[in-house]
């Protein structure tokens, strides 16, 4: 681990922005004192294969040793329990919230997403967790956004993830979801691959996407929180200083914490209110068409859903083997 410096860029960033740890690794969370933490199937899978976290998988399996459930139902129940156990451990460390993700295979199933979200919140409640400290992560498909709209009305707060475009952000704001997670790094990856160009600072299309969403939300006083996610370098983070929240991997948290030098606020709600922005109304047909017109957004959302779904399948295989050895 690099040596921390006084008044590091991480210290300065925390003055403008809530810093969130993007990991399932408890030790990393402790090291950088973030406000919140986020998890996803890939992070849980990676953490579950580390020896120091194997006890959580073993505990979930042991708790189901006398369960009347069998087959896929038993596996699904164990995975839900694993998610809750990881979430509870994280909440012992962070003062704020943890994000727990629904099965990505439900990304186009509104009712299925609602039912699983209710189940996860019920499991947290059963263990005495204040559910205001839990965000349910849902993919930003039309079906996922409509599920979140229902859940928010029930008091279940949601984090809409795999978000790459303005139509997704506008629909999430209209649904009054608690928080969105626009993916900076994956947008950057797509443009870099398509154009062969390197992007940095304010020219980074991932940075520009979050700036545009932030300005739209603040201009129209949309209460949904904006949390930039999926960073490739600290330059992207620095350009978004002032965003409501930023969820950052341990590697980049360490780099910020060991770097001196001034860091200034780049995103400001008062400046956004003065911007010339026209409101956009989206029904389902308009959303689907405008989203389809965004090749990057549609491709990266689909890719993200596939990847998270594949990692859930790998986690299921571990559970079915009664092991946490890599598959």
Residues labelled catalytic: 137
Question: In terms of C-beta density within 10 A (0-12 exposed, 13-18 middle, 19 or more buried), how is residue 66 classed?
Answer: exposed
Alpha-carbon gap, residue 19 to 305, rounded angstroms: 25
Nearest to 159 by CA among 143, 142, 182: 182
Strands 18-22, 36-38: pairing is parallel
Q: Which segments of the chain does DSSP mark as H helices, in order? A: 9-16, 26-32, 41-48, 54-63, 71-91, 110-126, 142-153, 166-174, 184-195, 205-219, 234-239, 250-257, 269-274, 284-292, 295-321
Helices 284-292 and 142-153 cross at an angle (nearest 10°) of 140
The sign of the torsion formed by the CA atoms of 165, 156, 67, 92 equals positive
In SS3 terms, 74-127 reads as: HHHHHHHHHHHHHHHHHHCCCCCCEEEECCHHHCCCHHHHHHHHHHHHHHHHHC
Alpha-carbon gap, residue 11 to 24, rounded angstroms: 22
């Amino acid at each position: 681990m690099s040596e921390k410096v006084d008044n590091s860029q991480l210290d300065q960033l925390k003055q403008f922005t809530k810093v969130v740890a993007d990991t399932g690794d408890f030790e990393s969370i402790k090291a950088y004192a973030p406000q919140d933490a986020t998890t996803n199937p890939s992070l849980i899978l990676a953490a579950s294969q580390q020896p120091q976290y194997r006890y959580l998988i073993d505990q979930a399996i042991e708790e189901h040793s006398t369960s009347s459930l069998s087959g896929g139902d038993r596996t699904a129940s164990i995975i839900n329990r694993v998610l809750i156990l990881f979430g509870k451990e994280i909440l012992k460390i962070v003062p704020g919230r943890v994000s727990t993700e629904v099965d990505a295979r439900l990304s186009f199933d509104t009712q299925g997403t609602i039912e699983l979200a209710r189940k996860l919140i019920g499991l947290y409640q059963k263990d005495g967790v204040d559910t205001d400290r839990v965000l349910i992560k849902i993919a930003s498909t039309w079906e996922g956004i409509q599920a979140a709209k229902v859940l928010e009305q029930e008091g279940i707060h949601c984090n809409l993830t795999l978000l790459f475009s303005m139509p997704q952000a506008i629909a999430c704001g209209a649904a009054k979801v608690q928080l969105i997670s626009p993916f900076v790094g994956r947008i950057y990856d797509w443009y870099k691959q398509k154009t062969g160009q390197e992007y940095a600072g304010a020219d980074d299309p991932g940075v520009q996407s979050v700036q545009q969403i932030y300005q739209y939300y603040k201009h129209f006083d949309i209460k949904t929180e904006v949390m930039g996610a999926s960073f490739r370098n600290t330059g992207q983070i620095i350009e978004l200083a002032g965003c409501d929240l930023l969820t950052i991997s341990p590697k980049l948290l360490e780099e910020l914490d060991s770097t001196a030098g001034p860091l200034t606020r780049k995103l400001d709600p008062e400046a956004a209110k003065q911007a010339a922005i026209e409101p956009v109304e989206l029904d389902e047909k308009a959303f689907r068409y405008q989203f389809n017109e965004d090749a990057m957004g549609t491709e990266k959302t689909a890719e993200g859903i596939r990847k998270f779904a594949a990692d859930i399948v790998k986690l299921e295989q571990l559970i079915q083997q009664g092991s946490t050895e890599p598959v």
